[in-house]
Structure formats: C-alpha cells, structure tokens
Chains A and B, each alone.
Chain A
Amino acid sequence: MSKTILYVEDNEFNRKIVRDLLARTSYRLIEATDGEQGVATALKEMPDLILMDIQLPKLSGLEATRRLRTDPKTANIPIITVTSFAMSGDDQKAKEAGASAYLAKPYSPRELLQMIRKFAPED
C-alpha cells in the first residue's frame, strides 16, 4: 500500500514539479488548487502527508492548516508548509498554525523529497 501525499498548490508548474518528482517513487499524489478544496480533499482522502502552500486562493494555507489540526480525524497528519514569502516570521506563523515543518520557496526538489521521506517514509 503506497503512501498518499496531498499537495495543495494553485500554480500548475509547481504542482507538475512535485508530480514529476514523485512519478518515479511509490508515493501516490493527489492535488488540490485552493485552501477549501485542500481541506475537503484531506478529510475525504486521509493522506499520509500534506504539502501546503501558504498563499492560496479562497482559504490561506495557514488557515487550512489550522482547520485540519482542529479536526480530530486529520489532527495527526504531518503538514509541511511551503511559502514564497521569505519574510521573517513566516516559519513562526506556520509552526503556530500547527505545521510539522516549513519549506521556503524556491525549494530544491531534492530537499523536498528528503523532507517527504522523513515524515512519510516510503514503504
């Protein structure tokens, strides 16, 4: 049973990077393009790991993270937040919202894969 990873990101190219990155691995990738859809998909699919962009339409990544953390069903799913704001304090905000880790854009796909494997080891 391969592990499922949910990537919530509105930019098609960034989604494609992760899609291509995970294509040769055993992970199953599911995608969402905004915060609301992300929360709904997470509740429906119960992924093993969530990659959450912070700047999202409809519902921000931070808010989506907060909601997933308050719901007992998803409270324990590891969430890695990804942001394009290198502004100081974002990592702090992400931690406060309940993120397990923080990755600043532009990230190296290699590093991202390492982080995914750390939180959700491949079977």
Chain B
Amino acid sequence: MCPEEELPNTYAASAIAPTPGWGDAIARPLLTHSPLGRLVRWVAGIPVSVHAKLLGAFLLVTLLFIAMGAVTLQTITTMSRQSRLLDQGHERVDWSRQIQHALAMQSHFTALALLLRDEATIASILRENNQFNNTLARIGEAAPLEEQELIQRILAAQNEALITVADIANLVRDNKLDDARTLHLSKQEPLYLQIEGFVNQVVSIEQDRMNRLRLSVAAENRRALVLTAGFVGSSILLALLLGFVISWSFILPVREAHGFLGKVAEGNFTTTITVPNRDEFGVLANRMNQMSRELQRLYERERAAAKELQALNDRLERATKAKSEFLANMSHELRTPMNAILGFVEMILDEVYGEIPAHLKEPLTDVQTNGKHLLRLINDVLDLSKIEAGRMELSLGDYSVQDIVETVRASLQSLAAEKGLGFVAAVEDDIPLGFGDGKRITQCLMNLAGNALKFTRQGRVEISVGLEGETLTYRVKDTGIGIPKDQLENVFGEFRQVDAAITREFGGSGLGLSITKKFVEMHGGRIWVDSELGKGSTFFFSIPLRVETGEGT
C-alpha cells in the first residue's frame, strides 16, 4: 500500500474515450474546460478509501436533505402560526363590529323605551349592554397598550351610560317622560356618541393591525418560498456536483485502466498507467504498473532466450549440415579402403596370388569375416545417420516378396548350417508383386533373420510371410535367448542390446533393429515383437503391399 507516492496527474481527455455516449459528450468539456476537472482530480487525490469517499458523499447528501426537511418544517410552522394570527385578527375585527352594533342597539332600544315605555325594551337595553361589555372584555384581553387605554375609557363611559339608562328607566317607570327624554338627549346621547367615537377608533386600530398582519404574512410567505426553493435548488445542485465528482474520480481511473490493459493485451508491456487517485484505484494502478514491468522483464528475458535458442538452432542446423556432408564423404572414404581390404583378402583366399599355406587359411578367413562385419557396422552407422539427417530416401519399384525371402535365406543358410540350426523360409506362392524399396525390405528381413540366428544357440529359425488384405506381414521366429519383458520396449532403440555381456558374446552394432524400424516406418508399416525369456522371440513387421507413392521416389 503506497498511496503516499506522488502520482502525476495525467487524466487526458482521451481517457474518457473508450465507451463514448451522450454522457461523455457532456462530461468531456466539463472535465477539460472547467474547474470541475481539477475538483475531480482533487477528490481522486484524497488519500482515503473509495468506501470512505462514497460514504462521505452519501452522508453529505443525506444531511442536505435532512436540513432541507427541517427548513420546510419550520416554514410550515411559521405559516400556520401566521394563519392563526390572521384568524385572530379577523375575529377581533368581528368583535369590534359587534360592539359597534351593540352600541347602536343600546341607543336604539333607549329611544324605543322612551316611546313604548315597557319593561321588555328596557331589559333589551340591559341585554345589549351586557353583550357590549362581554365583547369589549374579549377585545381587551389581547389588546395592545394604546387600545387598553381606549377600552378603559369606553368602559368608564359605558358604566356612566348604564347608570344613565337606569335613571332614564326609573323616570320612564315614574312616568316622568319629559325628564327621561331630557336626560336621554342631554346625557345619554352625548355619552353614546363619545363611546361610538372610541369604538370606531378601536375598529380602525383593529383593521390597521389586520392590514399590517396581512402584509407581513404575504411577505413571510414570499420569504419562505424563496428560502425553500433556494434550499431545494442548492441541495440538488450540490448532490449532482458530488455525484459527478465522485463518480468521475472513479470512472477516469477505470477508463485509464481499460486503455492500459488493452495495450498490455496487445503485447505492449512498456506502457504505464498514471492516475491521480490515492485510494484503491491508485494502489491498483501501481500494481498494474508493477505487472507491466514484470511482464516486460519476462518478455525481454523470453526474447533473449528465444534469440539464444535461434542462434543455437542455427548453429545446430549448420552442424547437422556439416555432419551430413561429412557422412557423404565418409561413405566414400570408408568404402574405398574397405573395398581394397576385402578385395585383396578374397583374392588371396581365392588363390589368385597362388596357393596359400594351410595354416594361413583360418587367420585370413578371420580377417575376411571381421572385415565384412566392420563393413556392416559402417553401413549401419551411415544408414542411420542418413535417416536421421533426413537424407534417406526410398527407391520405390516393383519387387518380388519370394525373391526377397530367397535372397535372405540364401545369404544366411551357411551361417545357420555352421551353427547347426534349423532354418526354413515359407512364403505363400500367390503373393503378387509388391511396390516399395525391395533392397531396404531385404535389409530389414536380413537384419531380423541375422539377429535370430545370432541369438539362437540351438533349435531353429523360421521366416514366413503372409498377405492379409493389402498388408504384408513378415515374421521371424527363433528359439533363442528371448528378451526380458521390461526390455521389450527398448529393443528398437538405437545402440540397444539387452546387456553388455550379450554384446560381447554375440557382437553387432545394436543398430540393426533401429534401422529396420525406421525403414518399416518409411514404408508406412510397423514393427513389433513377442518374446519369452529363454524360450525365444518372434519379430514381426507389416507394411502395405503397395506403398503410397505420394512423395515420389
């Protein structure tokens, strides 16, 4: 973890490119031409985890919404209080009108009492008076100071008016109507006019208050609306901004990584990724750089190894070519002296140079036998080398299976006779002409039969050939020493004989079976062996009667 490492800022506009959409069309100019880009990089550079950043952003947005809710709640509370005040204002204006009415009724009933002179009307005056007083008391309950004073005055005048009413009522009962009328006109009417003036003042004050209240409520409503709208708008903007910044501070390194991995996948290991993030993305980018460095290192090492291998291969190829040329030359150089040695020995033994002493016959025959053996070894080694160098080609043509078997039988008959072994060769008469390299097939059968005679001390060796469909199967059965089970797989390998002691006793280059196997395979056939230790072995090889001529001769 090393977010402390200063990461250079390289969010290029190209980093926004991998999956362009309409969102990118908006984001690209914002990131490149506005302070938002810087803000995104700043957020990316905050050395806290992605988890903490996301949590912080969500908490901030949540807090904003909580605050917005609180503001709205407060606005609603204010508005409901104001509407209550407004209701109260209305009520007070109503009450003011009621006392105006009650006053008018008092005056009216007083005048009526003077006319009718009945108790009921007088009682009505008292009722209206009570009504007036009750309503006035209600207004007075929550009245401002200036109004209180006015109300006291109204109350005083009203009490006086009530006393006057009582006096007028008594005068009316006593039938002193003139006095009553005089009292009504001189005292009660001016009192009522005075009271009415006060009441009108109260009404006007209440209406003023009402108007003021209305205005303030309207202002308050406007204020609440602006505040709420402002709060909502700024909350949305802030949430959008936070979302944009946070998400792009994550999207950009992801895009950067996308581009980086794309290049790495294409095999460009020298590429690096640089992000301003000091969170998990920063750590990830460092890891990716580490990865590409490691890949580059491995790639270079592998390239160096491949180069080395190529050089080695070239050297090997040159060496192989040199070896092939050497072998072609050696083939000539070895056979020329062998020809002379074997030729001279044969002529000596044929007494071309005159009669030879009896005691020299055996050593001269030994020279000849060993010379021939040496020649066989040379031939085997050269054959195998040519096969391995890919220079061995089959010389294809028609051949007679009967002739091949006869050649092998004739060549080995004397050897079998010397060892006192039974030696028979059986071929079906009706096998048609084969197509292949007759000389090489002869060599194969010769190798197998020669081996069989070599490894058999007593008993017999049988050669047989059978045709089944289009497949010829050659079989050489002996009653020799056999091959241990665990060695069966190895007998066709190069330089393989079951053990060194056998090589000493029976001789041989150990190449015969290997060469035979290769010739059989060149004919498109296969070779195998059944054997039982101490009882004998049977070697088989089967090849197509007529080999494919696809590759020519």
Contact = CB atoms under 8 A, between A and B. Distances in A.
Interface string B318-357: 0000000000000110011111101110110010110000
Given A11-B340, A21-B347, A109-B352, A88 B335 contact: no
Contact of B339 (A14, A20, A88, A92): A14
Given A17-B347, A84-B331, A106 B342 contact: yes
B347 A109 contact: yes
Nearest to B345: A109
A105 interface: yes
B347 A20 contact: yes
Interface in A1-49: 11, 13-14, 16-17, 20-21, 23-24
A15 to B, nearest CB: 10
Interface in B519-553: 553
A48 to B, nearest CB: 22
Contacts of A24: 352
B123 to A, nearest CB: 159
Interface in A58-72: none
A20 B553 CA distance: 39
Contacts of B335: 84, 86, 105-106
B379 A86 contact: yes
Contacts of B332: 55, 84-85
A23 B437 CA distance: 38
B375 interface: yes
B352 A21 contact: yes
A17 B331 contact: no
Interface in A83-106: 84-89, 91-92, 105-106
Contacts of B346: 108-110
A87 B375 CA distance: 15
B440 interface: yes
Interface of B: 331-332, 335-340, 342-344, 346-347, 350, 352-353, 375, 379, 382, 386, 392-395, 437, 439-440, 553
A12 B353 CA distance: 18
Contact of A87 (B340, B344, B347, B386): B386
A92 B394 CA distance: 12
B340 A88 contact: no
A109 to B, nearest CB: 5
A13 B395 contact: no
Interface of A: 11, 13-14, 16-17, 20-21, 23-24, 55, 84-89, 91-92, 105-110
B343 A14 contact: yes
A21 to B, nearest CB: 6
Contacts of A106: 335, 338-339, 342-343, 375
A13 B553 contact: no
B334 to A, nearest CB: 8
B553 A89 contact: yes
11 contacts: A14-B336, A17-B343, A17-B344, A23-B352, A55-B332, A84-B331, A88-B393, A92-B395, A105-B336, A108-B343, A108-B346
B350 A109 contact: yes
Nearest to B350: A110
A82 B440 CA distance: 20
A20 B352 contact: yes
Contact of B331 (A14, A86, A91): A86
A80 B443 CA distance: 24
Contacts of A17: 339-340, 343-344, 347
A55 B394 CA distance: 22
Given A13-B337, A106-B343, 10 more contacts: A14-B336, A17-B347, A20-B347, A84-B336, A85-B332, A88-B395, A92-B553, A106-B335, A106-B338, A109-B352
Contacts of A88: 392-395, 437, 439-440
B411 to A, nearest CB: 13
Nearest to A107: B339
Contacts of A87: 331, 386
Given A87-B331, A106-B335, A110-B346, A13 B340 contact: yes
Given A84-B332, A106-B343, A89 B352 contact: no
Contacts of A89: 393, 395, 553
